[in-house]
Amino acid sequence: AYLVEATKAPRGRFMPPSPAGPSSKHCRVLKKLPLKGIGEDQREAAFREAQLMRRISRGCPFITQFSEVFLGKQGTILCLVMEFCSGGDLRTLLRNRKDEGGLRLPEELLLGWTAQIGLALRHCHASGVLHRDVKPENCFFRAPGGDLLLGDFGISCSLDERSMAKTCVGSPLYLSPEIVNQEPYSWATDVWSLGVMMYEVAMLQPPFKGTNICQVAFKIVSAVPEPVDVCYSEATRGLINGFLDKEPGTRIPLEQALVTPPLGPWAEHACGSHGMAWPPPQGFGTAVAARSGLVQRLRTSTGLHTTAAAADSPERGSPGGFAALHELYEDDFEAYEEDFDPCSPPRAEDMYDDDFEQASAASSASYEEDFEELSDAEPEAPELDGLAEAPVRQHVSMELGPEGLAVAESLGVVSFLEGLRAASQRPVAAC
């Protein structure tokens, strides 16, 4: 990603930021996602998915805003122009807190941040979108001490199964038990990840630790985490435990958590601070999806990428299927954008929307020379790390012993790790 300052160049394009760094609100983040090696249909699906996320982001103040989406380098790069969050990410804050002695963060901050990310997830879910990668690195402070925003949506569901494998290997601490067990997953998997993050904010360490993905995956499906510090209220500790219920069917629903103590009052305050209705209305388009039978149509079963709706109800909608969602919701989005008035303070990007539109209206080609000035080298797709060449079962046996291997097989851990190898098309070991 690059910082791009909203300063108009003589030809109507954007100039690179000055050497002194970002000046203020005028900066944007340019994220470039390589699309090489995939088919034309997949590229178009990824582009439609990014456009859908741009529209969805405008309906919630707790999601990093997409200012523009376009294709560059003759369609080989998907470019996202996004809001710049000057307060940094939550991971950096937690790391600094731990380095400074590990004092527990106030419960007010824990609940306030969880409410903001919970509202962002609820908005995504109501619009038919799973985030799938909720973690501190993907949560950003709009300004130092400001709102915490959910960001870094992996525009990857329309690409290939390697993307999910990269997520599993890169962020194994936040995987839900249903993903490890290779079961159909839905909204509850994001709730699990929110619970893991909430636990980490409270304890400054993740609930399930290990030196490799084999140990982490085994603990996720079988271990009970260390109890949350008693400096937090019983209600807050109960909420964390409810989010970390290993059974997705009995895990606390996000909708329930956001309207009941201890999280409810903080969610209400977050909505009130942005002039949003309380309780928040159900997301637009969800009832349309349910009425049209989209819940059934979009259920898929493709190995590691398996997704399914939690329930066939207007309140649930359906994850996945971005191409179909885009077509189904297109009229809804256009009508929604025309009427949308969140009654919230104007966001910085609103001041520059016209500039962005003028700079990109003719074609995405007008951006390419500026991007080449920012970076001569095209960004490489991230590689899967921590994967050795030895057989999976052998490494699981070395890590857990023969009895542990039997338990890991019964819990689906071995088949999950073997699925990573197949999805990544590389030799994968358990550790």
* Catalytic machinery residues: 133
Q: Where do the DSSP E strands lie in 133-208?
A: 139-141, 148-150
Separation CA 112–CA 130 (nearest Å): 22
Q: Cα–Cα distance between 409 and 396 in angstroms, integer?
A: 9
Q: Each residue of 191-208: b (16+ CB within 10 Å) or e?
A: bbbbbbbbbbbbbbebbb
Phi, psi of 319 (to 5 degrees): -80, 170
For 275, other C-beta atoms within 10 Å of its C-beta total: 12
Count of CB atoms situated within 10 Å of the CB of 6: 23
Calculate the alpha carbon distances from 297 to 95, 262, 304 in Å. Answer: 43, 37, 19
Q: How many CB atoms lie within 10 A of CB 252?
A: 20
Any idea which residue has 């851990």 for tokens?
A: 413
Judge contact between 31 and 80, C-beta under 8 A.
Answer: yes
Distance CA 320, CA 270 (A): 28
276: phi then psi, degrees, rounded to nearest 5: -90, 150
Q: Where are the alpha helices (DSSP H) in 246-386?
A: 254-257, 264-273, 286-291, 294-297, 322-339, 353-360, 365-374
User: With contact defined as beta carbons under 8 Å apart, do 223 and 216 qualify?
Assistant: no
User: Which amino acid type is present at position 229?
Assistant: D
- Round to whole Å and give the CA distance between 143 and 163: 30
Distance CA 69, CA 54 (A): 7
